[in-house]
Amino acid sequence: MPIETNELTRRDLLTMIGKAAGGAAMYQAMSSLGHAAESSYHGPVQLAKAKPGSSVIILGAGLAGMVAAVELRNAGYKVEVLEFQSRAGGRCWTLRGGDRFTELDGTAQTVGFAKGNYFNPGPWRVPYHHHAMLDYYRRYGIKLEAFNQVNYNAYVHHSKAFGGKPQRFRHVQADVRGNVAELLAKAANQGALDTAVTKEDKEKLLASLKSWGVLDKDYRYVASTAVSDYRGYENDPAGGLMALAKPSQPIGLHELLQSNLWGQIGAGNVYEFHSTIFQPEGGMDMLAQAMARDLGQAIRYNAKVTKIEQGDRSVTVHYNDAQKPGATRRASADWCVCTIPASILAQLDIQVGDSMRAAIDSLPYGSSMKVGLEFKRRFWEEDERIYGGISYTDLPIQQISYPSTGYMGKGPAVLLGAYNFENTNSYRFSSLTPNERIRLVLEYGSQLHPQFKAEFLNGVSVAWHRMGWILGCYGKWTDELRGQHYKNLAQVDGRIVLAGEHVSYIPAWQEGAVLSSLDAIQRLSAKAMSL
């Protein structure tokens, strides 16, 4: 018991306090406090106060458009937002029971989800380093919850490996680490690294590999209690006189390599998917809804822009009522922030210089399709102990993602049944009718979850390149296209500036749209003040 040595220990520790204080002071002196130095976002934008009577017309009430509208309004500009759809948010969109939308050819879907269930067909997660997004959530009081990107008990699946049986992420992940460590330790012990590492480093390397890879005393990765403490047991340790724990059997190197599953465990290592990663409570559109409420009457819905003219002193936008086409209307302002996607803008008459026009015309859009499925119950939790996270498969559905909220809830729940991002799968699926898509997703999904068909209630699919107001998912830049056109797209052209994820280096992310907008309005404001 420590009581006996109390005084001595205490004296030692009071000395340690002094030493600890020295360490802190040292670090304090050399530290920049890590103030998100890596971001271009350093808190709410500071715009110069607008000249009296200045006005801006903003095209599009997605996040880029609404950020521009809110900030310019706060700086004293008169703002008007024209939005094609009858709702704000654009791709920042959440589908709930009763929602209805149509594709290019008029095909309509009505969402059949139970009350409280939702599906984010566009963006669905927010990295912790998307600082601008997080700041808007903070400013609008939107609560965030953890998005579960990596679930060690979710599946990785290759239809030609392990007889088509899905494997647990934790098994493949631990066994990759173990096999790699064993191989590298073997090479080190055989002297194969002697030109690459010093003797001292080699010793540290071997010790680290043994611990990291859970190798035995002979540097082998083999079934053991220690290994099971990482990959899980065949039978878990229990209580009282229940059955004794039984170690699990690792997958061998050859089987692991031939399974092609190694490539399916890495998503969580990607900076954009690092934990902590968030989702807004209640659906991705919570921020869009809050901003739209804030902007109120400043947003004119169902306004289909047909032409954008500019002169020396103003911008004039022509638009129709998208629901009841009739006489063309006009709206004018001193300045214009246009967040209409390039895919749509390329079809409009917009009065800008040749270089911006060429940029708009050159940007292709990536495709994407997402399917939301509602099931009678959370069988993935109840039967398979998968709470949130993502299963990966080589099948055309590619991903199944389980809800990161309402864990252990009763009643129907919605999961992401397919997510094709920028590849032929998205075109293949979307060439089918919505019902056929769902049918196919259920067939594929059944290879991971045999419960799919029996538990299915309803589903909805959003094929982004078939949504008439965007015709794609995101601006798909290549290095070559960036070199030729990016600056021309981003420049202020007379009184018009473009914004949106397509005018950013973070394509397909909301942060790209917001940073693009903040940068655009700063440059627009600077120009307005300089005149």
Interface positions, 156-215, toward a copy of itself (CB under 8 A): 159, 163-166, 170, 173-174, 176-177, 180-181, 183-184, 186-187, 190, 192-193, 196-198, 201, 204-205, 208-209, 211-212
Burial status of residue 183 (CB atoms within 10 A of its CB: 0-12, 13-18, 19 or more) = middle
Q: Which of residues 443-482 bind a copy of itself (CB under 8 A)?
A: 443-444, 446-447, 450-452, 465
Q: Are strands 100-102 and 108-110 parallel, antiparallel or unpaired?
A: antiparallel
What are the Cα distances from residue 227, in Å, to 151, 214, 386, 394? 19, 6, 22, 28
The residue among 318 and 440 lying less far from a copy of itself, judged by its C-beta, is 440
Whole-number minimum distance, CB 489 to a copy of itself, in Å? 9
Output 111 or 360, the one with its CB closest to a copy of itself: 360
Q: Name which of 144 and 460 has its Cβ closer to a copy of itself.
A: 144
Residue 326: CB minimum distance to a copy of itself, A? 30
**CB neighbours of 159 closer than 8 A, spacing ≥ 6?**
393, 394, 395, 447
Q: Which of 46, 107, 235, 478 binds a copy of itself (CB under 8 A)?
A: 235
CB of 5 to a copy of itself, least distance (A): 7
Q: Is 233 helix (H, G, I), strand (E, B) or coil?
A: coil
Determine phi and psi for 481, rounding to 5 degrees: -60, -40
- Locate 254 and state its tokens: 């050859």
User: Among residue numbers 240 through 259, which ones bind a copy of itself (CB under 8 A)?
Assistant: 240-245, 248, 253-254, 257-258
Interface with a copy of itself by CB under 8 A: which range of 29-37, 288-296, 321-329, 349-357?
29-37
**Window 353-412: residues binding a copy of itself (CB under 8 A):** 383-389, 395-396, 404, 407-408
**Per rule CB under 8 A, is residue 438 in the interface with a copy of itself?**
no
Provide, rounded to whole angstroms, the least separation between the CB of residue 158 and a copy of itself.
Answer: 12
Q: What is the spatial distance between Cα 36 and Cα 38, in angstroms, rounded to a whole number?
A: 5
498 within 8 A of 134, measured Cβ to Cβ: no
Q: Count CB neighbours of 76 within 10 A.
A: 15
* Residues between 283 and 342 with contacts to a copy of itself, criterion CB under 8 A: none
- Residue numbers 96-135 binding a copy of itself by CB under 8 A: 128-129, 131, 134
- Which listed residue (5, 46, 107, 110) binds a copy of itself by CB under 8 A? 5
Residue 300 C-beta: closest distance to a copy of itself, Å: 25
Q: How many CA atoms lie within 13 A of 456 on its CB side?
A: 21
Q: Give the separation between CA 401 and CA 420, rounded to whole angstroms.
A: 12
Q: Which is nearer to a copy of itself, 148 or 368 (CB)?
A: 148
Q: Which of 78, 159, 146, 92 is nearest to 120 (CA)?
A: 92
- Cβ proximity to a copy of itself: between 268 and 332 the closer is 268
What is the closest distance, in whole angstroms, from the C-beta atom of residue 36 to a copy of itself in the complex? 5
Least CB distance to a copy of itself at residue 95 (A): 23
**Among positions 99, 216, 272, 294, the unique one binding a copy of itself when judged by CB under 8 A:** 272
Judge whether 348 and 342 are in contact, CB under 8 Å.
no
Position 530 contacts a copy of itself (CB under 8 A): no
Query: Considering the complex, what minimum distance in angstroms separates the CB of residue 225 from a copy of itself?
Result: 10
Q: Is 34 in the site for a copy of itself (CB under 8 A)?
A: yes
Beta strands in 351-449 (DSSP E): 365-366, 368-375, 389-393, 399-402, 413-421
Q: Which is nearer to a copy of itself, 319 or 403 (CB)?
A: 403
> Which of 499, 508, 525, 528 forms a contact with a copy of itself (CB under 8 A)?
499
| Binding of residue 10 to a copy of itself (CB under 8 A) | yes
Sorted by sequence, the CB contacts under 8 Å of residue 422 that are 6+ apart come out as 366, 367, 368, 473, 476
Backbone dihedral angles phi then psi of residue 250, each to the nearest 5 degrees: -65, 155
Minimum distance of a copy of itself from residue 87's CB (angstroms): 24
Nearest to 335 by CA among 48, 513, 67, 77: 77
Tokens 């998208």 sit at which residue? Answer: 322
